[in-house]
Structures are given as structure tokens and as C-alpha cells.
Amino acid sequence: MCDLIPRGVAPFDTAGASCQNAASGKVDVTRRIELQVGDLRAQYELLEEWAPKTTAALWTHLPAEGRLYHGRVSGDSAIFPVRGDAIKELSIVPTQLEAAATSIYRGFIVAAIYPHMGLMDLTISYGKAELRRDNGRWYGTPVAEIVGDGAPFFALLKSLRAEGDKRMTARRVE
């Protein structure tokens, strides 16, 4: 994201991938990821300014493929686990998150980190959601926000509750 310019009003180029920082003259690149379930794809913009360590660990482990399932105890959400060695190296505990959050706004992805297992659970919100696990409220780090109209992808996420798990691929948009 560009510094000094509020989120959502940055002067993006036609590719939507970078913007000019008025103060430094540097071009800042905003990285994106793509989530795909079957033929349906959605792009998310990484929130690197909020969570540089967590987004870097996620980026390192892409592409990732696996099970996408409904986050029943978290409300209107789905969960996609990502595993890897870079996650084990994150020395982040719930009291020291880069940007601690429990409420998850529609269209955001929040990462719950379990370094001892090398696991990053990505909780993807399609409505009203709060980061919870079986033992109660949990804290995570916002890592991405949807780009464009997420309605078709949100409908798919909602369908997981009745239809069950699906396979998903998460990859870098380069």
C-alpha cells in the first residue's frame, strides 16, 4: 500500500499491482494471492503493512492445496490450513500478534498461528465471524482482504456448512 494515502483511495496503475508513494517517489508493490475452488477464483490483497512476518510466512508456503471446511464455531467463515517450516519459525504467540484480531470482517482472512505444529489456519470470513476454536475465543492476525466483488466466492464458502468440505488451492498472483 502507499503510505500517506488512505486504504482504498490509492492511485493504482491499470494492472492494480502497484502505486506511487508521493513522499518517496518509490513504487510500492502490493502482493496478491488467489484462492481457487473448482472453477471459482477469488483474489485477495495481502495486508503486509499490518503483518509483515505473517504474510511473508504465508507467501513462502504458496502454492498450497488442501481441505477447505466450514468454521462452524467461528460463524460465517471457512478455514484453510497451511503447513510449513517458515511457520514453525514464527515466534508469534497470541499476546504478541502483529495485529491482534478476534472479529473478522466480511472479505478478510485472519491467520491463527500454531508455530509448534508449523500450522497457519486461514479463517476466511463471508459474513459475521469471530475467530474461535473449540476452547473459546482465539486471536489471529489479519493477512488479506478480498479484491472486487466477493459474492460468488462468499456463496461457495457459505455452502460448505450444508455440502461439506471442498478442495482448495491458494497461490501467488505474480
Sign of CA dihedral 42, 43, 48, 54: positive
pLDDT at residue 97, rounded to an integer? 62
CA distance 37 to 40: 5
pLDDT at 54 over 80: yes
pLDDT at 35 over 70: yes
Give tens-digit pLDDT for 68-112.
Answer: 999 988 889 999 999 988 788 776 655 566 767 888 999 999 998
Per CATH, domain 31-173 is 3.40.50.1370: no
Kindly report whether the global pTM for this prediction surpasses the value 0.85: no
Question: Which CA distances in Å does 106 have to 39, 76, 124, 164?
Answer: 22, 9, 8, 21
pLDDT at residue 7, rounded to an integer? 41
* pLDDT, averaged across the chain: 82
As a whole-number percent, the residues of the chain with pLDDT over 90 amount to 52
pLDDT at residue 28, rounded to an integer? 56
Ordered by start, the domain boundaries in the chain are 1-30, 31-173
Report the candidate in 20, 17, 45 with the shortest Cα–Cα distance to residue 29.
Answer: 17
Give tens-digit pLDDT for 148-161.
Answer: 999 999 999 999 99
CA distance 151 to 46: 19
CA distance 94 to 42: 28
End-to-end CA distance of the chain: 16
pLDDT at residue 11, rounded to an integer? 30
pLDDT at residue 95, rounded to an integer? 56
Q: Which of 28-32, 58-62, 118-122 has the lowest mean pLDDT?
A: 28-32
